[in-house]
Amino acid sequence: MRKILAAGLALAAVLLGLGVVRALSADAAAVPAYHPTKLRNIGDSQQVVVVTGNGRTSTYATLRAYQKNANGSWSQKFAGMPARVGYAGWEWASKRVQDTGTTPMGTFRITSAFGLKANPGTKVKYTRADSNDYWVGDNRDAKTYNMFQPSASSTRTWRTGEAERLAAYPTQYEYAAVVDFNRPWGSTIKWNTAHAQYETSKPVDTKRGSAIFLHINGSGSTAGCVSLKRADLLNVLTWLDPAKTPRIVMAPLTDIGRV
């Protein structure tokens, strides 16, 4: 009888152990792949914007914003926001090619913002754009590539046909945050008086593309940016704080854990 009882207790312990393992596994599975604790390259960020696409070829996505708490845990700041991405879907940032309509997959800093209207209250560096301002993507002029320019000076070295005149997009660029994809470091950028333009001493890859922003929705998909409803974008902009080193992580849901 004692042997039977002992065997029964041992079996119960095994079953209980399996139950505990299963419960722990269920808890682990409950944490989605896009949660900051699952992301690989967010470093010291205390604010993380996560954009998950529905698939590699889909132009639809969801944006979620997370903030790190004092105890090290993470809280989701807003409910998931519907977003649009590039008309050709997604491509790894290292393989992306200019003018292909793909949204780059990766993890990037957000260090600045701009808009055709006054600062809505964001703490990140904000530039009020006007009808003279351009964002240059001229791959024949590496020193000005993927940079803001305050005018199309007659002495400039870049082509206006290879730049976005910001005022030409009054809806999308009413407000926008700059995604630091393929961007020259700020410390390398200086003003060239002779050409009346900003230039970098360390150009980026002019084949990978420029002008990747988080901006207001247009009529559909984007050329590679991520777009949101106006109210949602304003919520994100006014929440961003450079003291918390914000980063944006962008990829289809199946790849989000790899970026």
Number of domains in the chain: 2
Statement to judge: residues 10 and 121 lie in one domain? no
Statement to judge: residues 125 and 201 lie in one domain? yes
**What is this structure's pTM?**
0.88
- In this predicted structure, the answer to whether residue 168 has a pLDDT above a threshold of 50 is yes
Statement to judge: residues 14 and 79 lie in one domain? no
Q: 16 is in which domain, residue-wise?
A: 1-30
Position 204, amino acid: V
Statement to judge: residues 16 and 111 lie in one domain? no
Which residues neighbour 191 within 8 Å (Cβ) at sequence distance 6 or greater? 197, 198, 199
- In this predicted structure, the answer to whether residue 96 has a pLDDT above a threshold of 60 is yes
Statement to judge: residues 16 and 118 lie in one domain? no
* pLDDT of res. 13: 46
Statement to judge: residues 14 and 105 lie in one domain? no
- Taking the C-alpha atoms of residue 204 and residue 3, their distance in angstroms, rounded to an integer, is 74
- Taking the C-alpha atoms of residue 206 and residue 180, their distance in angstroms, rounded to an integer, is 14
pLDDT digits (tens, 9 = 90+) for 27-83: 555 899 999 999 999 999 999 999 999 999 999 999 999 999 999 999 999 999 999
Statement to judge: residues 105 and 158 lie in one domain? yes
Statement to judge: residues 7 and 55 lie in one domain? no
Statement to judge: residues 19 and 96 lie in one domain? no
* pLDDT of res. 25: 44
Statement to judge: residues 96 and 191 lie in one domain? yes
- Chain-wide mean pLDDT for the chain? 92
* pLDDT of res. 11: 45
Statement to judge: residues 25 and 38 lie in one domain? no
Evaluate whether 246 touches 45 at the Cβ level (below 8 Å): yes
- Taking the C-alpha atoms of residue 243 and residue 236, their distance in angstroms, rounded to an integer, is 15
Statement to judge: residues 13 and 65 lie in one domain? no
